[in-house]
């Protein structure tokens, strides 16, 4: 008999987790700018949490899969991340921030891939309900990014580390409320992650994820600065970030139907193409508000459609006991290595060329990712 899914407790974790991203991603670069750091230094400091995501999720995923303790790892690592981030409040030096961010992000990156596995195990055969739970992460992001944007319009950016700690505390507390779930029996215990990575469709998928997220470098690291330099207020910047996530929620409400009718591969490819268009619009029309609103609405594809289709593909490529490591590989190579390389490169491109050129390069990187999917991914993928 299927157990009851702890819908609201699972949703609360996503709410606080993505609220912390709504605080960090749009405003961390602005906070660093207020401390007097250069664009190159901002790009480097922004890249550190992304660089630790290259290896940390897989290490934690290996430990969780080996010992079957996904939830315990989530609880301990989110607590250590909370304690580590507290040191940011009084730090002003580049080296001090770099070291603290390295420790904090190493533990923080353990949480989401393993929580995705916990959520999938709770859902069991009802995996189509995943997007309904995950959308609360989008709600948390919207509340955080708009609320903090309004606050910054009237107060200083120096409050950011304290607000971030509140969100991190919410992540840890919500993890304590999640009940454990027995993992289902696995039919693929004899397979290894390395065996899967030898298959062209699998490494092609991960390469496309890397390129897609590398293209997001100038978006995550510099969008707020870009908009600020073009005369947008802090409140408007927060609302523009939130608009993208509102569109993302719409996708999460409908994507389970699209996955059945269209297929994950085609949705994955469509997300990459639309994202390339989005970067072109940001490069050429940032001063035209209607076009900028359209570009932000395309976040529905850049994140919502991309992530939902990618999660479906990860579950097919890495079933059973490989699930934790599969989620970790996806997080490490895309949101970790991809975002880190993108942030570092965009910091240098931003300085050496121009913001507009940086976004056009991002569009070209997206198109390269689309080419990989055309060459290596079949139209339909059954469980291997």
pLDDT reported for residue 87? 94
pLDDT in tens, 321-371: 777 778 778 888 888 889 888 988 988 899 899 999 999 999 999 999 999
pLDDT reported for residue 352? 92
pLDDT reported for residue 382? 52
Mean pLDDT of 103-126: 84
Nearest to 65, CA basis, from 316, 333, 325, 326: 325
pLDDT of 59 > 60? The answer is: yes
DSSP state of 332: I
Max mean pLDDT range (124-128, 285-289, 374-378): 285-289
Q: Tell me whether residue 380 is exposed, middle or buried, using C-beta atoms within 10 angstroms of its C-beta: 0 to 12, 13 to 18, 19 or more.
A: exposed
Mean pLDDT of 48-52: 83
Q: What is the mean pLDDT of the chain?
A: 86
% of the chain at pLDDT higher than 90 = 41
pLDDT reported for residue 65? 72
pLDDT in tens, 255-304: 888 888 898 899 999 999 999 999 999 999 999 999 999 999 999 999 88
Helix (H, G, I), strand (E, B) or coil at 189: coil
pLDDT reported for residue 1? 40
Crossing angle, helix 111-123 and helix 130-154, to 10 degrees?
140
pLDDT reported for residue 25? 83
**What are the residue boundaries of the structural domains of the chain, listed by start?**
12-178+191-376
Mean pLDDT of 83-112: 92
pLDDT reported for residue 253? 85
Domain 12-178+191-376 has CATH 3.40.50.300: no
Q: Are the C-beta atoms of residues 107 and 80 closer than 8 Å to each other?
A: yes
Distance CA 158, CA 156 (A): 5
pLDDT reported for residue 311? 86
What does pTM read for this prediction? 0.76
pLDDT reported for residue 193? 66
pLDDT reported for residue 380? 64
Distant-in-sequence contacts of 254-257, Cβ < 8 A, 24+ apart? 255/131, 255/304, 255/305, 255/308, 255/309, 256/128, 256/129, 256/130, 256/131
pLDDT reported for residue 8? 87
Mean pLDDT of 2-15: 82
Tokens of residue 300, six digits = 């529905």
pLDDT in tens, 181-234: 766 555 545 556 677 777 888 999 999 999 999 999 999 888 988 999 999 988
Distance CA 359, CA 278 (A): 9
Q: Whats the size of the chain, residue-wise? A: 384
* More confident call, 242 vs 66: 242
Distance CA 7, CA 312 (A): 20
């Amino acid at each position: 008999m299927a157990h009851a899914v702890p819908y609201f407790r699972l949703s609360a974790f996503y709410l606080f987790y993505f609220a912390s991203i709504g605080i960090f991603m749009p405003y961390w670069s602005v906070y660093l700018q207020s401390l007097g750091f250069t664009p190159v230094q901002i790009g480097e400091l922004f890249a550190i949490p992304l660089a630790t995501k290259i290896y940390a999720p897989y290490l934690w995923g290996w430990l969780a899969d080996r010992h079957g303790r996904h939830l315990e790892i989530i609880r301990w690592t989110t607590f250590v991340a909370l304690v580590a981030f507290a040191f940011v409040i009084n730090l002003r030096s580049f080296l001090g921030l770099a070291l603290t961010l390295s420790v904090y992000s190493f533990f923080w990156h353990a949480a989401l891939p393993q929580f995705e596995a916990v959520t999938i195990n709770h859902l069991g055969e009802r995996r189509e309900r995943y997007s309904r739970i995950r959308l609360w992460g989008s709600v948390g992001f919207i509340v955080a990014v708009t609320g903090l944007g309004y606050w910054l319009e009237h107060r200083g950016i120096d409050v950011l580390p304290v607000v971030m700690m509140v969100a991190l505390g919410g992540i840890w507390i919500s993890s304590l409320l999640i009940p454990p779930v027995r993992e289902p029996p696995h039919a693929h215990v004899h397979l290894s992650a390395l065996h899967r990575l030898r298959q062209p469709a699998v490494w092609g998928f991960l390469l496309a994820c890397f390129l897609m997220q590398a293209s997001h470098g100038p978006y995550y690291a510099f969008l707020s600065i870009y908009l600020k330099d073009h005369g947008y207020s802090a409140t408007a910047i927060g609302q523009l970030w939130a608009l993208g996530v509102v569109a993302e929620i719409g996708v999460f409400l409908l994507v389970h139907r699209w996955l059945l009718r269209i297929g994950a591969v085609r949705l994955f490819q469509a997300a990459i193409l639309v994202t390339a268009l989005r970067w072109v619009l940001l490069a050429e029309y940032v001063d035209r508000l209607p076009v900028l609103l359209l570009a932000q609405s395309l976040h529905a594809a850049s994140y919502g459609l991309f992530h939902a289709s990618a999660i479906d593909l990860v579950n097919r490529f890495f079933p059973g006991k490989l699930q934790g490591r599969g989620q970790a590989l996806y997080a490490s190579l895309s949101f970790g290595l991809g975002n880190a390389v993108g942030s570092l490169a965009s910091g240098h491109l931003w300085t050496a060329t121009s913001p507009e050129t940086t976004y056009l390069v991002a569009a070209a990187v997206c198109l390269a990712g689309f080419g990989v999917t055309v060459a290596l991914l079949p139209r339909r993928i059954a469980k291997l």
